[in-house]
Homo-oligomer: A and B are copies of this chain.
Amino acid sequence: MRPGDLERVQSLPLFQDAAPETFRVATAGAHVQRFPAHTMLLLEGDPVDFLYVLLDGQAELHGTWNDHETVLAILRPVSTFILAAVVLDTVALMSARTLERCELLMIPGDAIRTAMRLDARFAQAVSRDLAGGYRGLVRTIKNHKLRGGVERLANYLLALRASDNAGSTVRLHFEKRILASLLGMTPENLSRAFAALHDHGVTVEGSLVHIAKPGALEALAKPDPLIDNHAPRGGDILIDADAEIWSSEWNRATSR
């Protein structure tokens, strides 16, 4: 483990509330492992023995059925994944694969479950993390069931712009075929969706996307705070911070 890695992990919402002792015990049995690009970390259906913490690199969660595959999330550091399976001590519903060279901290599931038993504050943090994840998935489902492909792409771009505090040009952090699968379409159709956004001020050059007229794009995308976690709140002070500061990339990845 590199200097600073533990601190980065400890500052995750999942752990920052835990008692120092809890954190120490949980990470005592953990180990860091490096994986090359395009390596399967976990296969759906397999028992989950570790909570994974992505320290460096990018990874993907995907699901399979009937010889088809769909990307469910893209993970970027620092984030944890498959917490739900760890809590229930059961098999994974998603497979995980590295997109590039990755460095992962693997914390034994037993340690996590024990820590939950001993430290109520940690158990609460787990609950908050899972609740945030749950809500991210609800957003994803609404995104997919209520919007068409072009709208999903438009909102994804707006989310990227908001999250990477980018200016008018945003960078896609991974291949377009991955993005297509994440957004629930074929690479061909993603290409056509980008073409459709051309009329709304969007131009593409490799992995760089220029948004010339954010207003026009928003008019098409109709972002909604109840689907897109970045979207502007209706003008009220009631809710000033959605507690979903969440460890994984779900929100960004699934278009917020």
Q: Taking beta carbons and an 8 Å cutoff, which residues of A are in contact with B?
A: 44-45, 47, 63-66, 68, 70, 72, 83-85, 87-91, 93-94, 116-121, 123-124, 126-128, 130-135, 137-142, 144-147, 184, 222, 224-227, 234, 238-239, 242-244
Contact = CB atoms under 8 A, between A and B. Distances in A.
B123 A127 contact: yes
B84 A131 contact: yes
Given A65-B147, A70-B146, A47 B140 contact: no
A246 B127 CA distance: 15
Contacts of A63: 138, 141-142, 145-146, 226-227
Given A84-B130, A85-B131, A130-B131, 8 more contacts: A65-B227, A70-B146, A84-B131, A84-B134, A84-B135, A87-B131, A126-B127, A127-B127
Contact of A91 (B44, B45, B145, B239): B239
Number of copies: 2
A17 to B, nearest CB: 11
Given A84-B135, A93-B226, A137-B137, A65 B142 contact: yes
A165 to B, nearest CB: 23
Nearest to A222: B66
Instruction: Identify which of A63, A123, A131, A146 gathers the most chain B CB atoms within 10 Å of its CB.
Output: A131
A140 to B, nearest CB: 6
Contacts of A141: 63, 72, 137, 140-141, 144
Contact of A117 (B65, B120, B145): B120
A70 B226 contact: no
Nearest to A224: B65
Contact of A45 (B140, B145, B226): B226
Q: Which of A65, A72, A124, A243 has the most CB of B within 10 A?
A: A65
A138 to B, nearest CB: 5
A75 to B, nearest CB: 15
A146 B68 contact: yes
B138 A88 contact: no
Contact of A90 (B68, B94, B239): B239
A5 B116 CA distance: 30
Contact of A124 (B65, B116, B128, B142): B116
